[in-house]
Structure 1
Amino acid sequence: MTIEPTDPQQGSQYPQGYGQQPYIPFPPKPTTNTLAIVSLVSSFFVSLVAVITGHIALGQIKQRGEAGRGLALAGLIIGYVGIATTALFVVLAIAFAATFGAIIAAVAGGAALPFPSVSDTPSEAPSDSSSLTGQVGAADFDAGYLAVGTGPTTVDVYFDPMCPYCKQFEVANGARLSAAVDAGAITLRLHALTFLDPASQGTDYSSRASAALTCQATLRPESTLDYLAALYAHQPAENSPGLTDDELVALQGANLDFADCVASGRYLAWSQENTKAALIGPIPDSEIESIQGTPTVLVNGAQYRGAIDDPQEFAAFVDGQM
């Protein structure tokens, strides 16, 4: 029996494709995009380059079907993190340089470093006293002093509320001066200075006490000398914080207008500017050029150079100038 060969092009008893599938070679593995590699590597060194090459690489990978998308994304992420870190470092460096530079400039210029203010110092103290003019109560803002009495003899007392020698002068002569004011014999001009601010542990006590005295002089001028006596009676030691604002208010009593004046720091700048003017000079109608220490007492422009705690010697000097 002869078996005729089967034409391979004719139908077969097996369905096409049955059995072992014909060999189909694997598609070629896509090449890794070069810029993706560059992006990842450069991200550890130059963040901006990593970001730029990463974005370019992603575009090329999408168009060409290349591999390396993960590398490009990794480079982008690391690059952006690097940029953010660098930016933060630059900002911190600038802030540090500005702060440190200000301190160096202050030291180099001979300026005292500012002490941090505590709660006793008003947070919004006036920056200048240019708006203070004329006379309010006992305060003469143009001349820079507090004046009580209208007598023909002028007595100027330059003092610092924290100065212990000023207290000695007040204890010895305060009552006599007050009596002379009441008798109409003298005009007493008070110059409250603030040069001992650095001796109050950053609270600027001299400025605050001087400003509080000015508050009293403007609101209740008839009690100016009483408040000055209270300041001396409760004078804090040098190199201590001094009285708080509440304690300064308590020396006067429970008056809301006075408490508001003290808390606002209304006359802080004025007191400090008067101090600068006194230390630099000139001193009007006086035999001295500037204030060299406290207490400095002038009677009709002549400086008293006797013992500050000898009331008889001082009284004789005043009588000699009348």
Structure 2
Amino acid sequence: MRISVALCTHNGERYLEAQLRSILDGTRVPDEVVVSDDASTDATLEVARTVLGSAGVAHRILENPRALGVTANFEQAVRATTGDLIALADQDDVWHPSRLARIEAELGGVGVLLRHSDARLVDEVGDDLGTTLFARLRVGAAEAAAIDGGRAFATYLRRNLATGATTAFRRELLDDALPFPAEWVHDEWLAILAAAREAVRMVRDVEIDYRLHGANQIGVAEPTLRYRIARVLGDSGDRAALLARRSQVLAERLAARGLPEHAAQAAAKARFEGRRSRLPALKIARVPGILGGLFSGGYRRFASQRSLDAVRDLFRPA
């Protein structure tokens, strides 16, 4: 099978060469590399041309004069690929040598449309931070068991566990996924649609070094005490309104793709998040609605932080 790498860039000159070298020096070399650059103003394009021009691998470099944003840029990149399998890549990470070989082995058969893996977290100079992506996301044994046990859709509907830099998928998933909706980030959109087909695999092995630095476009925040307090006391109403819109978009796409059962679950989440977004300004008046969400199982089924989100809804600003 042919494997394409879809790599998106934006002012990534500092780390891009190391990333491209790690992709090209793996035990399984990609058949194609597509770089989609989102209006970089540094030497990113020069680095890409220099490295890929001497690599002996088919490649395309797309240049956006105006920034499209992360999701639209990745959509442009994957549309430009021609491979049977598509591996997503960020500009600032480092792949482990066996990554593409494992992707080919696991996606080359039947039953899996998308796989995503764990990653080692490193700092801006590549030093190990002593933890992993899944540890930082607090991926629990119950979530892993649910995914392995055929309950992936409910798990990803509650919260996204797939990070684009670790994600690869079969081309036919694009039949469901395109176009990418503006309300969703590309990686979570692809993962939830693969989960709706009961065809997603979460790999617990570390396959890349995921670099954390000040310029990450989408990063993994350190869950400090201050951060957790801010999460509880922050405005969850706007977030719930966005989640309601996203869930409705998902329900409509799933219905259009002939998946009515999962569409109904997404619509139920949209209704739950809509009720959260419309909770009254007066905190005491929110209690009946919050209790209703708790007793009906809405927070357990749909809220990323479950009962903690009920506390957030009670204390968020009016």
State the TM bucket, normalised to the shorter chain.
Answer: under 0.3
> How high is the TM-score relative to the length of structure 2?
0.22
Computing the radius of gyration from Cα coordinates, the structure with the larger value is 1
Decide which structure has greater strand share: 2
